[in-house]
Amino acid sequence: MLSFLFYLIFLIPLCFLSGGWWLIHSLFFIITFFFFFIFPYFMVWGNLGYIFGCDYISYGLILLSFWVCVLMIMASESIFRSSYYPGLFLCFVVLLMIMLFCTFSSINLFSFYLFFESSLIPTVFLILGWGYQPERLQAGIYLLFYTLLASLPMLVGIFYVYSVLNSTCLYLLLKLDSFSILFYFCMVFAFLVSMPMFLVHLWLPSAHVEAPVSGSMILAGVLLKLGGYGLLRVFPILINFYKFGFIWISISLVGGVLVSLICMRQTDLKSLIAYSSVAHMGLVIGGIMTMSYWGLCGSFTLMVAHGLCSSGLFCLANISYERLGSRSLLISRGLLNLMPSMSFWWFMLSACNMAAPPSLNLLGEISLLNSLISWSWFSMFFLVFLSFFSAAYTLYLFSYSQHGLYFSGVYCCSLGYSREFLLLFLHWFPLNMFIMSSDFVMFWL
């Protein structure tokens, strides 16, 4: 693991070279493929040390992080073209990748907490430095306030683990036999806020709306998955308080339906995609809290699938924003007349968002529906509405943006560059090809 970490650290000086943009992009591609090929060499824990280790879950999410970072650089070419501090931008992307790599490969609770919080710093700088509007300051404060305030109790919980076990190793949590309800809430609440769960989700739409395309991609693609990853890691604590699972499942399912209704009323492209993330993450929380095999495997599958799908949708929203100068659905409509080739990608990624076959989303949602209905047949009532409205707001997004008369104020528009088509293909291809190798995401337990 250290070899990959040092590779990333030595990318930082290269960010400031004159031709550093495409060099960093190419080197990120290389490390992604290198990391992909180490997969067969371990089954339970691989490359294990005192601080870092890698298993199925962390391997999948690190690979997703590498992939999304490659696509972030490709999507942000306007920063390079306008020479708006491209070196500094690349430096923050590499720093963020280092933090995410360390977070997902930590086997120590304290180092996990440290890197979990540190990943916020480059994200906030991306929002504040390359965001579009003055409101980005408020969005950055929202993000910091919610996440830091919720994760402070987790630090107290980690100190409690150390006082009992004289160690903060993740796999020693199984040895804990004295739990309190307060300790359970301390350890779980930080992850529920960062996913985010309904009622503590208000930071997410504002952060997405104000963030540049790269910030939105990494937020939706990877940072929301930190919460789900944390819940999977503190699983021994969740099992001891299994009876409290119904609270989180109820909030997530009811919240998912309400957020889906909010999506139907959105006129901002990015805001609609951001709220849809809250609805999808509600399903993931529900699946994890059922404590079943199907639930855990389905939640991991949906996390990977949502990371690719929502990142692609944010790219599409940015492509239309660069042409039209607005994210409003009232202005960016009738795009089928202006960019017919791009409409194909709008359809393909919208289909994945509503879990149409053969996407990975379908596999994840079937597993989660199975686990939630097995947990309680009453949850079927909410799942029907959640599935219906999920398809409804995705069709609303596609039909409203692609059909109808285009805005009369549009005076010029390019059909799309090869870079943009490649970017969207690299989102869609793994999302639909991983279904061929579903054991990678489904049978890791």
Compute how many other C-beta atoms are within 10 angstroms of the C-beta atom of residue 388.
11
Q: Can the peptide bond before residue 358 be classed as cis, meaning omega within 30 degrees of 0?
A: yes
What is the sign of the dihedral through the CA atoms of 341, 347, 350 and 355?
negative
Report the sign of the C-alpha dihedral through residues 4, 6, 12, 15, in that order. Answer: negative
Partner residues linked to 52 by β-bridges: 106
Burial class (CB in 10 A: 0-12, 13-18, 19+), 154: buried
pLDDT over threshold 80, residue 440: no
Nearest alpha-carbon partner for 365 in 348, 353, 379, 377: 353
- Sorting pLDDT into bands at 50, 70 and 90, what band is 226? very high
pLDDT tens per residue, range 311-329? 999 999 999 998 888 899 9
Residues 6+ apart with CB under 8 A from 179: 237, 240, 241
Q: Phi and psi of 108, rounded to 5°? A: -120, 130
Tell me if 286 sits within 8 A of 249, measured CB to CB.
yes
pLDDT per position as a tens digit, 120-179? 999 999 999 999 888 899 999 999 999 999 999 999 999 999 998 888 888 888 888 777
pLDDT score of 412: 66
CA separation for the pair 367, 361 (Å, rounded): 10
pLDDT interval class at 370 (50, 70, 90): very high
Give the 3-state secondary structure of residue 54: strand
Confidence (pLDDT) at 134:
85
For the segment 180-190, what is each residue's pLDDT rounded down to a tens digit? 889 999 999 99
In 3D space, the residue among 362, 231, 370 whose CA is nearest the CA of residue 304 turns out to be 362
pLDDT band with cut points at 50, 70 and 90 for residue 46? low
Q: What is the mean pLDDT of residues 301-320?
A: 95
Q: What is the mean pLDDT of residues 259-287?
A: 95
**pLDDT, tens digit, 9 for 90 and up, residues 198-217:** 999 999 999 999 999 999 99
Q: Are 115 and 233 in contact (CB under 8 A)?
A: no
pLDDT score of 47 more than 80: no
Say how many Å lie between the first and final Cα of the chain, rounded. 22
| Residues written for the chain | 445
Provide the β-strand partners of residue 108: 169
Instruction: Say what percent of the chain tops pLDDT 90.
Output: 72
pLDDT bucket at 256, cuts 50 / 70 / 90: very high
Name residues whose C-beta falls within 8 Å of residue 364's C-beta, 6 or more positions apart in sequence. Answer: 298, 299, 301, 302, 303, 304, 305, 306, 355, 441
Residue 269 confidence (pLDDT) above 90 = yes
Quick check: bond before 196 cis, omega within 30? Answer: yes
Q: Which of 27-36, 40-49, 55-64, 126-135 has the lowest average pLDDT?
A: 40-49
- Provide the H-helix boundaries in 195-292: 203-210, 213-218, 225-233, 235-240, 245-263, 269-289
Identify whether the C-beta of residue 315 lies closer than 8 Å to the C-beta of residue 406.
no
The whole-angstrom separation of Cα 44 and Cα 223 is 24
pLDDT at 270 over 70: yes
Mean pLDDT in the chain? 91
What is the DSSP code (8-state) at residue 15?
G
